[in-house]
């Protein structure tokens, strides 16, 4: 059983002992700490906090505890029900709330859940703000509202439609052109909220669609991380030749992957690359992705005359850097597209609409579009950690061993070689070290990653 506290929120497995898992007692503690922080922050005074959740089995329980706790802290709760992460982010600003809590463990397996914490701008808390929430939680000196100031409970289930309308209103989304193209898509929504909102989006765009794993029950039909080894079902469906595009989202619909008309992976890394290429062809500007993302975004950005900048891993780190360099688009190589014209959050709906507009304008197949981008391969490996593992010492050893290469240590250790790179970092969401490596071929990328892993295993005696 695990409880992880990081910039990605409070995340853990359901059940078990207090302090070790995401259980009702700890949900109350961290929700109270968050509400205390928001009150202290005092940036907005609407006295409202938005709560949305994905389709996880534990979601109803967690939602009830969160909403009751916020009411006990004197906040009016706007429960928006089943909702994607980007929908909840937008709901905060659309309702003028002081903040929001998204109940989702993103791509983690079914036994996990999490509290993702938002500020009044509908954006994730910064590291400093998140640390303040954790410090408040540790003090456990909480003050709740008296009987005359208990918060109200409000339900508002209109935000799916409002989110979709905001996508349709984007200047670079051409719903009429998409409709004329007559696209047929197949989507895997992994038994969560994507099965509710994506059909609405497809109807609004005039797209003919089939949904796999569309029941929003949280009983995931396969591992929910949208990577190739988990997507055999939709890849096989695409090989039938019935569809122009395969679309895959994770349980909270902030990550997006595409499958070609031939049933091949477009590559989750190339979701951001392709959408950025389209945006940059119409908008002059810069881009940002995290250190673990493909060099292809840098290549495409420079081709359009812009400047590419790398940020530390984590959505808030990417959005902070995007604001610093005035990026017109950015995101993460795991399929997360952040388009400031909409909002500063990863949003699969925005990514889908921009991608389909680009495809309709180019009048080409998905595989033909993929062939226009620089070709890199990323190997994604992991080192499972045991309690007491000194990750910082491991990373220092790696830095020392490769001190003659170009090193970036703003987030773990990234070693840049002339024609390849490898990045090691402790995960924000799981007790592991992620080892990502990129080269011209998958074999070379995997070999690079595994050579570093062998060095680490030798150090920790595995």
pLDDT digits (tens, 9 = 90+) for 403-443: 999 999 999 999 999 889 999 998 866 778 999 999 999 99
Do 3 and 431 touch, CB atoms closer than 8 A? Answer: no
**Residue 258 corresponds to which tokens in the numbers above?**
């595409």
Determine whether 387 is exposed, middle or buried from the number of CB atoms within 10 Å of its CB (0-12, 13-18, 19+).
exposed
Catalytic member of 58, 106, 166, 292: 106
If you average pLDDT over residues 53-70, what whole number do you get?
98
Q: Is 106 a catalytic residue?
A: yes
If you average pLDDT over residues 74-96, what whole number do you get?
98
Q: State how far the Cα of 431 lies from the Cα of 393, in Å rounded to an integer.
A: 16
Mean pLDDT score of the chain:
94
State the pLDDT confidence band at 461, using cuts at 50, 70 and 90: low
What does the pLDDT read at residue 194? Answer: 98
Check the CA dihedral 295-297-300-303 and report its sign: negative
Tens digits of residue pLDDT in 122-162: 999 998 999 999 999 998 789 999 999 999 999 999 999 99
Q: State how far the Cα of 345 lies from the Cα of 244, in Å rounded to an integer.
A: 27
Cα–Cα separations (whole angstroms), residue 462 to 271, 274, 385, 458: 36, 40, 11, 6
If you average pLDDT over residues 114-124, what whole number do you get?
96
What does the pLDDT read at residue 9? Answer: 82
User: Residues with Cβ < 8 Å from 226, sequence gap 6 or more?
Assistant: 107, 188, 190, 248, 249, 250, 255, 256, 257, 268, 335
The structure tokens 């609409």 sit at: 353
Does the pLDDT at position 315 exceed 70? yes
The structure tokens 């992460």 sit at: 85
Least confidently predicted of 220-234, 238-252, 405-419, 424-438: 424-438
Tens digits of residue pLDDT in 340-378: 999 999 999 999 999 999 999 999 999 999 999 999 999
> Strand, helix or coil at 78?
strand
Global model pTM greater than 0.85:
yes
Least confidently predicted of 304-308, 331-335, 367-371: 331-335
């Amino acid at each position: 059983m695990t409880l992880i506290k990081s910039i990605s929120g409070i995340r853990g497995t359901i059940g078990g002992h207090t302090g070790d898992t995401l259980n009702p007692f700890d949900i109350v503690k961290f929700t109270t700490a968050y509400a205390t922080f928001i009150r202290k922050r005092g940036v907005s005074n609407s006295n409202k906090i938005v709560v949305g959740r994905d389709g996880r089995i534990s979601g109803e329980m967690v939602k009830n505890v969160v909403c009751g706790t916020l009411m006990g802290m004197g906040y009016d709760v706007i429960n928006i029900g089943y909702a994607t992460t980007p929908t909840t982010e937008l709901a905060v600003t659309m309702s003028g709330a002081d903040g929001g809590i998204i109940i989702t463990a993103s791509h983690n397996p079914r036994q996990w859940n999490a509290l993702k914490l938002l500020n009044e701008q509908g954006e994730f808390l910064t590291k400093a703000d998140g640390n303040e929430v954790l410090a408040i939680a540790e003090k456990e000196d909480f003050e709740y509202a008296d009987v005359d100031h208990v918060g109200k409970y409000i339900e508002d289930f209109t935000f799916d439609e409002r989110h979709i309308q905001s996508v349709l209103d984007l200047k670079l989304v051409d719903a009429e052109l998409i409709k004329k193209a007559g696209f047929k898509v197949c989507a895997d929504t992994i038994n969560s909220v994507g099965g509710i909102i994506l059909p609405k989006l497809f109807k609004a765009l005039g797209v003919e669609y089939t949904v796999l794993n569309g029941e929003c029950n949280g009983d995931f039909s396969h591992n929910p991380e949208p990577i190739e080894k988990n997507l055999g079902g939709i890849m096989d469906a695409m090989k039938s030749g019935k569809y122009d595009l395969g679309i895959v989202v994770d349980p909270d619909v902030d990550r997006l992957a595409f499958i070609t008309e031939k049933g091949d992976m477009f590559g989750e890394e190339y979701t951001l690359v392709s959408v950025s290429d389209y945006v940059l062809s119409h908008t002059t500007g810069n881009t940002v992705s995290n250190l673990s993302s493909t060099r292809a975004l840098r290549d495409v950005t420079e081709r359009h005359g812009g400047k590419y900048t790398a940020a530390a891993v984590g959505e808030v780190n990417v959005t902070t850097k995007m604001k610093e360099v005035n990026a017109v688009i950015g995101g993460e190589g795991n399929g997360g597209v952040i388009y400031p014209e909409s909002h500063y959050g990863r949003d699969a709906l925005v990514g889908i609409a921009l991608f389909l507009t680009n495809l309709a304008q180019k009048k080409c197949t998905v595989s033909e579009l993929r062939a226009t981008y620089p070709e890199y391969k990323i190997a994604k490996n992991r080192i499972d950690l045991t309690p007491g593992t000194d990750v910082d010492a491991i990373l220092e050893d790696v830095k020392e061993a490769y001190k003659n290469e170009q090193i970036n240590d703003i987030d773990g250790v990234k070693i840049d070689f002339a024609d390849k790179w490898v990045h090691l970092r402790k995960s924000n969401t799981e007790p592991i070290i992620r080892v990502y490596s990129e080269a011209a071929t998958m074999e070379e990328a995997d070999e690079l990653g595994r050579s570093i892993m062998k060095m680490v295993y030798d150090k920790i005696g595995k």
